[in-house]
Amino acid sequence: MTTTTRPAEPVTAAAPARRSGPAGLALRQGRLEIRQFLRSRESVVFTLGFPLIMVLIFASIFDEEIAPGVSYTQYFITGMIATGLMTVSFQNLGIWIPIERDRGVLKRYRGTPMPKWVWFAGKVIMVLVTGVVMTALLLAVSVTLFDLELPTTTTAWVTFGWVSALGVTACTLCGIAISSLARTARSGSAVVTPVALVLQFISGVFFVFTNLPTWMQQVAALFPLKWMCQGLRAVFLPESFGADEPGGSFELTRVALVLGVWCVIGLVLCLTTFRWTTRRDG
């Protein structure tokens, strides 16, 4: 049914028609997800731009000290890094998966011999790459413009690593799980955005956590973002600030514990509720 006779040029140089092994399939899927993400301008602006703009605005307006040797700017930037990690995982997936489900992308993938896990691996690779890029951007801006100091000890870098990894894992699993609540493409954002916004206000991102009413602190302590913020403060704020935390220290064991529990909750919800097709598809 060729109407135009111009032959197809070889468009993708290194794309053999032969099926790759499991790792190859996952990497290909990840590359495709990243490509799709980068080409949809709204999601790039929203995901990467939002935390950056917030840092530029808030850090420029408020620069008072909240404790000896600790500025609000430092406090806010650590909170924004945690928020950014939640945005690339929880919000990104919670908003995009319903759209893809509604468009039939997931159904189409299920009609191929692609193993199910490859699709999830692709999403995880995209979240990890955007998370690293976003964190690097935030750190670069904060170090150049707002005198944030990068961690100097190996211990601090290790803490940075595991808090981010555990936090992103919990948020990724919860994002995939919450995607099944949205009935249509458009409602994903309506389900996810309020949850994320409320958590940002009560978890010590915009406001110093200990200044919040006790009941609000208790509600926030049930969710991951508060613990991600606290874990990152252990990395970027002076050790002395630990005494100003609600528990009298940075409580890293508890950070690991709560985030770990959320990983389990998220995983169980994913395994029990994930849908490849919309409800009207049965």
Partner 1 sequence: MSDDVAIRVRGLRKTYGDSLAVAGLDLDVHRGEVFALLGPNGAGKTTTVEILEGYRQRDAGEVRVLDVDPASPTRDWRGRVGIVFQGTGEFDELSVAEVVHHFAGFYADADDPDKVIERVGLAAKARARTHTLSGGQKRRLDVALGIVGRPELLFLDEPTTGFDPEARREFWELIRDLAAAGTTIVLTTHYLDEAEALADRVGVIAAGRLVEVAAPNQLGNRQEALATVSWRTPDGTPDSAQSATPTALVAELAARFGGEVPGLTVTRPTLEDIYLTMIGHR
- Contact set with partner 1 (CB under 8 A): 1-12, 15-20, 25, 28, 32, 35-36, 39-40, 100, 103-105, 107-108, 110-115, 277, 281-282
Task: End-to-end CA distance of the chain: give it in Å, rounded.
Answer: 35
For partner 1, the closer CB: 34 or 59: 34
Report the nearest approach of partner 1 to the CB of residue 232 (Å). 32
Residue 8 DSSP label = P
For partner 1, the closer CB: 7 or 213: 7
Report the nearest approach of partner 1 to the CB of residue 5 (Å). 8
Report the nearest approach of partner 1 to the CB of residue 108 (Å). 6
Q: How many CA atoms lie within 13 A of 102 on its CB side?
A: 16
For partner 1, the closer CB: 42 or 64: 42
Report the nearest approach of partner 1 to the CB of residue 199 (Å). 29
Query: Contact at 8 Å (CB) between 116 and 81?
Result: no
Query: Contact at 8 Å (CB) between 130 and 47?
Result: yes
Cross-strand pairs, 113: none
Query: Contact at 8 Å (CB) between 242 and 249?
Result: yes
* Structure token pair of residue 278: 């919309």
Report the nearest approach of partner 1 to the CB of residue 192 (Å). 21
Angstrom distance (rounded) from CA 29 to CA 35: 10
Q: Which string of DSSP letters, residue by residue, matches 98-166?
A: HHHHHHTHHHHHHTSS--HHHHHHHHHHHHHHHHHHHHHHHHHHHHHHH-PPPP-SHHHHHHHHHHHHH
For partner 1, the closer CB: 194 or 279: 279
Report the nearest approach of partner 1 to the CB of residue 22 (Å). 12
For partner 1, the closer CB: 8 or 152: 8
Report the nearest approach of partner 1 to the CB of residue 185 (Å). 11
CA 67 remoteness from chain centre: 29
The closest alpha carbon to 99, from 52, 167, 42, belongs to 42
Query: Contact at 8 Å (CB) between 241 and 265?
Result: no
For partner 1, the closer CB: 28 or 254: 28
For partner 1, the closer CB: 122 or 231: 122
Residues 6+ apart with CB under 8 A from 269: 173, 174, 177
